[in-house]
Structures are given as C-alpha cells and as structure tokens.
C-alpha cells in the first residue's frame, strides 16, 4: 500500500495514503480499507477490497485472487460497452418518436395554419393536445426505462 501511495497518481495515491495514515494512527487495516471503500463508492473497487480482506483473514495467493478480479472487472466493462451499444438504437428511437409529433405540428403550423386551427381554438382540441403531450412523456419515460439496463 505504501508503494501505491507513492507511485500512483491521485486520487488513488491519496486514498492509499489515507489508509496508511489511519493504520499508523492505530486503526485496523480492515477498518481503514472499508472506510476507503465507502469514500470511493465504486462497485468494482468494493470487489477488490472485499477480496483483499478475505485473503487477509483466510490466506491464499493474493496475486491469483487479484488477477481473477481483474478479469472479472474487464469482462464487466466489456459487457457494459456491449449493452450500451445494443441499447443505443432504443435510446435513439425514443428520442425520434418523441420529436416526430412536435416536428409534424410545427410543419403543419407553418405550411397550413388553417389545418390546425380547430385543434388550437376549441376546448376539445386543447384537451387532445394535453392528452397527446402526457402520452408522449409517458412513452418517452417507458422507452427510457426499457433501454436502461443496469449491469
């Protein structure tokens, strides 16, 4: 940890320096690492901290454990990128489907204002516009939730 605190760049070096300082002040390594894990707040880093703490209690080859965690984190990053690529079409579809009615409304308002006059002047037309806006918002939110996949 001392080598990491000296040779890495911030913020990692700063965090490990804090761990070294806390252990020098009498805190256990386990407490200092868990506190650092809470400060960092990264799911992948939590995996590393948990593995180090388990290895410290149980024993074993830390290099092998860290290599396995590295492979796991790399695979998660690859999977996040792949899911992002696959859901990009859905995200774009949500944006396009939300913009089409607005674009058509502007087109008709410019090209033939008389065509939209009943929609804008009657109470039923105004209610129809309100319902359409609400449905557009609900549709966009539903599409956004569908394509927002957590890994």
**Rounded to 5 degrees, what are φ and ψ at 27?**
-80, 155
pLDDT of res. 99:
93
pLDDT in tens, 83-139: 988 899 888 988 999 999 999 999 999 998 898 888 889 999 999 999 999 999 999
Q: Give me the percent of the chain exceeding a pLDDT of 70.
A: 100
Cβ atoms within 10 Å of 33's Cβ, excluding its own: 23
Q: Is the overall model pTM greater than 0.85, yes or no?
A: no
Mean pLDDT of 140-149: 89
Cβ atoms within 10 Å of 94's Cβ, excluding its own: 19
Mean pLDDT of 39-60: 86
104-143 as b/e, with b when 16 or more CB fall inside 10 Å? eeeeeeeeeeeeeeebeeeeeeeeeeeeeeeebeeeeeeb
Q: Which residues have C-beta within 8 Å of that of residue 94, sequence separation ≥ 6?
A: 139, 140, 143, 144, 147
pLDDT of res. 78:
94
The domain segmentation of the chain, as residue ranges, is: 2-60, 80-147
């Amino acid at each position: 940890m001392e080598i990491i605190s000296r040779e890495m760049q911030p913020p990692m070096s700063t965090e490990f320096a804090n761990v070294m300082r806390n252990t020098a002040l009498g805190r256990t390594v386990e407490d200092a690492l868990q506190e650092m894990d809470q400060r960092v707040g990264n799911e992948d880093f939590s995996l590393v901290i948990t593995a180090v703490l388990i290895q410290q209690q149980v024993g074993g080859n830390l290099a092998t454990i860290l290599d396995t965690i590295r492979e796991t984190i790399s695979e998660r990053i690859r999977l996040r990128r792949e899911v992002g690529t696959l859901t990009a079409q859905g995200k774009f579809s949500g944006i396009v489907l939300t913009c089409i009615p607005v674009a058509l409304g502007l087109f008709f308002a410019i090209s033939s204002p008389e065509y939209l006059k009943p929609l804008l002047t009657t109470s039923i037309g105004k209610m129809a516009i309100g319902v359409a806006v609400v449905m557009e918002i609900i549709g966009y939110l539903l599409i956004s939730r569908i394509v927002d996949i957590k890994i």
